[in-house]
Chain A
Amino acid sequence: QKEVEQDPGPLSVPEGAIVSLNCTYSNSAFQYFMWYRQYSRKGPELLMYTYSSGNKEDGRFTAQVDKSSKYISLFIRDSQPSDSATYLCAMRAEFHKGNKLVFGAGTILRVKS
C-alpha cells in the first residue's frame, strides 16, 4: 500500500464548475500538507501549504485537512481552462537531518470551455 493515495483521473469539468481533488494517507506522523500544480512537461508549482486540520483559503483555492480521517482536499471555485493541469498532493516527512516530500500520483484535471 502506498503512503499517499490519489485518484489519477482524468477529471473533466465544464468551465465555472467547482472542482474537488482528494488524497488519503496512511502515516499519522504527517503534519504538513501541500498541493502542487504541474502543467505538462513543467515542474510542480506550490499552490497551498497547510498545517494540521482545518481549512485554508487563497483566492479560488481552498485546502482542507482532516487528520482524524487522514484525508486532504483541494477545492477550486469557478474553474478556468487555465486550471487544466495535474494536481499533486504532498506530505512533508521528517528524517534525521531534514525533510522530504511524499507525493501522491497526481490527478489530471481538464476544464472545458
Chain B
Amino acid sequence: ETGVTQSPTHLIKTRGQQVTLRCSSQSGHNTVSWYQQALGQGPQFIFQYYREEENGRGNFPPRFSGLQFPNYSSELNVNALELDDSALYLCASSPPGLVGDTQYFGPGTRLTVL
C-alpha cells in the first residue's frame, strides 16, 4: 500500500512568484488536508478538500488556494509569495468515514522564498 506522496521535495522561489505543490493521497483515502509548518513550530491547518470541494479553511489568506481531483490527489497553490511563506508544506490524507478524522501525512515539500 502506497502512502501519501508529495512533490517536489524542495523548491526555491523568489518573492512575488507563484508556486504549485502536489499531493497524492494514500490508496483508498478520499479527504486531503494541507498544513504549513514553520521552522520550530507545529503544523498549522491551511484547508481541507473532500469530494473535490474545499470544506474548511484555517487562518490563511485567499492567495492560498487548492484543488482536489477525481482521483483524490490535490494541489496547493500560493500566489504572490512572501518571505514568511518559507516553510514545510504537509499534505495529509484521511480514509472514508468521519471526514478528516485520522490523518496520515506525507513527507512534505520544503519551500524557500528568497
CA of A92 to CA of B99, assembled, Å: 11
- The segment out of B38-46, B67-75, B76-84 that lies at the interface is B38-46
Q: Does A57 contact B (CB under 8 A)?
A: no
Q: Is the CB of A98 within 8 A of B99?
A: yes
Q: Is the CB of A95 within 8 A of B56?
A: yes
Interface size on B, residues (CB 8 A): 30
Q: Is the CB of A42 within 8 A of B103?
A: no
**Which residues 78-110 of B have a CB within 8 angstroms of A?**
90, 92, 98-108, 110
Q: Does B25 contact A (CB under 8 A)?
A: no
In the bound complex, residues from chain B placing their C-beta under 8 Å from that of A4 are 42
Instruction: State how many angstroms separate the Cβ of B55 from the closest Cβ of chain A.
Output: 4
Q: Is the CB of B55 within 8 A of A97?
A: yes
Q: Does A43 contact B (CB under 8 A)?
A: yes
Taking residues whose C-beta sits less than 8 angstroms from the other chain, chain A's interface range is: 20 to 34
Q: Is the CB of A43 within 8 A of B106?
A: yes
Q: Is the CB of B56 within 8 A of A96?
A: yes
Contact with B along A6-48 (1 / 0, CB 8 A): 1010000000000000000000000010001000011111100
Could you give 16 example pairs across A and B, Cβ below 8 Å?
A32-B101, A43-B4, A43-B108, A88-B43, A96-B56, A97-B50, A98-B99, A98-B100, A99-B99, A99-B100, A100-B33, A100-B48, A100-B58, A101-B103, A102-B45, A103-B44
Report which B residues bind A (CB closer than 8 A).
4, 6, 31, 33, 35, 40-45, 48, 50, 55-56, 58, 90, 92, 98-108, 110
